[in-house]
Amino acid sequence: MRNTRAVPTALSAAVLAVALAASGSAAASAQPDPPGRDGTDAPDTSAAVEVISLTDASGTTTAAGAAGLAPASSSRLAPNAASQTPAVLTVPTATDTFLVAAVTWRDGETLAEDAHVFLRVLEGGVWSDWLETESDEGSEGGQAVAGTDPFVTGGAEAVQVQVTGPAAELPADLGLTLIPADPTEDARVSSDPGETPATLPDADLTAVPMGERTETALAADPTSEISTPASATAAAASVATTSGTDAAQTTATTAAATSGVNLPNPGVYTRAQWGADETIMTWRPSYAGLQAAVIHHTAGTNNYTADQSASIIRSIYRYHAITRDWGDIGYNFLVDKFGRIFEGRTGSRTAAPGQMTIGGHARPMNTHTMGVSVMGTYTEAPASSTVLRSVANVIAWQFGRAGLDMTARSGLVSTGTGVVPSGVELPRIFGHRDVAQTACPGLIRTQIDQLSMMVSSQLPNLFYLANEFTTTADVRFRYGQRGANVYVGDWDGDGVDTVATRVNQLFYLTNTNGYSEAASVVAFGRPGDVVLVGDWDGDGRDTFAVRRGNLYYIMNTMGSGTADRVIPYGRATDQVVVGDWDGNGTDTLGVRRGNIYYFRNSLTGGVADREVAYGRNTDVVLTGDWDGNGTDTLAVRRANQYFIANSLSSGPASTVVFYGRATDVVLVGDWNDDGRDTLGVRRL
């Protein structure tokens, strides 16, 4: 136990005010037991926030701040001291057990540009390495004091702090704040060296801190590029109309709001479950459209237990809400090393689809982002697969609700305050280091490619539908199991084509081009069948047919059972197309051999009624009523270029359009009941 006093005469009023504020009521809410809230992590005796004053109101080191320096009597170092010479160095100091530590200083002042803050702590009789904790400018509002990231421990009982850089540039009211699980007493503050713990560090007090070695390793990380999946560098869906084949691809805009999906809540522990004291929450929630996620780690050791996680979050909450005067915890979500997800800032879990509570985690990128912080330090090792999976789960949950396209950039532009140059558009998921002068999130930043793929794999199919051959995708939505086969048809006869997805022999049909649960689920055919869609009886509703060899099993209603008609046509090796070739309101078959098409105007076997050559052998072929005259004709696709014919005849295309990307799966349908078919794409 260190010697403390309630009002040290040498302590500045500012430090005292912060300390007293930090000791506000910590009475636990009467809530269901979350991890660590069942009493197993409760302090054995009453505890207080401890504040060790390191500099006074003039920026001069206190006795505690200079106790580890040589000579011991020096309170300040020479102004020209080397940047890595300790300007502040305490002796190893015994403390009450604490879970979160942080270094703070007077708001409006800053640490020197080349200054670093290091802590090492005694946990379970073992001293940690020196670990760096960095200046945290997460919030964009007012604050009582400036400070570092929260430094997480597994219940430390001693501490040593080192601040490097020019002593003459130390900020005023520099202090070390130690927060126990649930403070129950007024803050205790001191500027004197404390008691020496029974166990001392083996290393020299001035040895190079672990954090400094880590920073050197991170410096090799390229600063001119963002870690992001290769797919995210492609442009958004695009479409242009031209009379030639060399038109430039243009970036699409989306006129309609994206329809999100209700992915399952990944088991997020609520604020009530981890015991948030809502009486100290003074921040007024505000919201913005979600566009990206920022990945963080905290700082400190990774030695905490599962039972301590909730207490650590309560301590971080108290540090952000009271000590820093942010009014709430800065992160939107936190993930512990066991992979459990906790709600952070108020409203993050319950925000409307597509919205996110504006946090205080990555100034100037708090608006339009969700901050996810992994509890602990990850500068020496990356996050485990368990942690990464949980981070991906909570991001996918929110991205799905927002209908975000993981293959497109976020629309947020770097200001150049991090390693990403100014003016560069940021991806959907990026690290704190990309937008701020920090090493956060350590080696997790090298896992963001993997994280992005994990998020993308959870999101349903993304569709872009255009009602015209213009640069605008009119509808964007997600639907169906990712990677499932997709079909288009007018399932309910309302004149609007919608999508269906197929998994094995089950078809999941929707009657709206927006996210919804399946309107119906139909079993038909065998898993290996080739499936066709058409209005086979002219009733205005599309149904399915399956092909086996050169036999076609046609159903006039949706459902399982015996086919209404079985006909042979063409050869087993032919490619099949479906359309209303003569405008009589009934779809029939055609087959393709190379670039020759053989059309039949009735659902019977026999000789083709029309034979047409069009395009090349290697083209992807599409059919649709492109001009609204009631007759289906051909189009061929080459990469993202489409050659559309308005008559069943050979010759040049009537229209050439560009749409989407070469990797998109193309769809054709009448998306708005105007009688004309246009293009859409499914993007993974």
Percentage of residues of the chain with pLDDT beyond 70: 81
Please provide the average confidence, as pLDDT, over all residues in the chain: 84
Identify which of 105, 167, 178 has the alpha carbon closest to the alpha carbon of residue 136: 105
pLDDT of residue 210: 44
pLDDT of residue 470: 78
pLDDT of residue 259: 59
With tokens 């030639």, the residue in question is 244
Give 390-394's long-range contacts (Cβ < 8 A, gap of 24+). 390/266, 390/335, 390/339, 390/340, 390/341, 391/295, 391/335, 391/451, 392/451, 392/454, 392/455, 392/458, 393/266, 393/341, 393/458, 394/266, 394/268, 394/333, 394/335, 394/341
CB 294 within 8 A of CB 371: yes
Beta-carbon count within 10 A of 90 CB: 27
pLDDT at position 50 over 80: yes
Give the pLDDT mean for 386-403.
95
The H or E element spanning position 395 is helix 385-402
pLDDT at position 263 over 60: yes
Q: What is the pLDDT of residues 662-675, one digit of tens each?
A: 999 999 999 999 99
Q: What is the pLDDT of residues 162-207, one digit of tens each?
A: 999 999 999 999 999 999 988 876 778 888 888 999 999 985 544 4
pLDDT at position 553 over 90: yes
**Rounded distance between C-alpha atoms, residue 68 and residue 367, angstroms:** 42
pLDDT of residue 142: 61
Cis peptide before 364 (omega within 30 of 0): yes
Q: What is the pLDDT of residues 504-547, one digit of tens each?
A: 889 999 999 987 789 999 998 888 899 999 999 999 999 999 99
**Rounded distance between C-alpha atoms, residue 259 and residue 237, angstroms:** 16
Fold classified for 230-236+257-458: Lysozyme-like (3.40.80)
More confident residue, 379 or 329: 329
- Angle subtended by helix axes 385-402 and 448-458, to nearest 10: 50
Percentage of residues of the chain with pLDDT beyond 90: 66
More confident residue, 212 or 372: 372
Task: Identify any residues that bridge with 475 across adjacent strands, giving them in sequence order.
Answer: 465
Q: Confidence band (pLDDT; 50, 70, 90) for 143?
A: low
CB 132 within 8 A of CB 212: yes
Q: What is the pLDDT of residues 456-514, one digit of tens each?
A: 999 988 899 999 987 678 998 888 888 899 999 999 999 999 999 999 889 999 999 98
Least confident of 387-396, 454-463, 595-604, 638-647: 454-463
- Provide the pairing of β-strand 117-123 with 126-127: antiparallel
Beta-carbon count within 10 A of 374 CB: 27
Give the pLDDT mean for 287-304.
95
Q: Confidence band (pLDDT; 50, 70, 90) for 266?
A: very high
Q: Confidence band (pLDDT; 50, 70, 90) for 253?
A: very low
- Cβ burial of 586 (10 Å; 0-12, 13-18, 19+) is middle
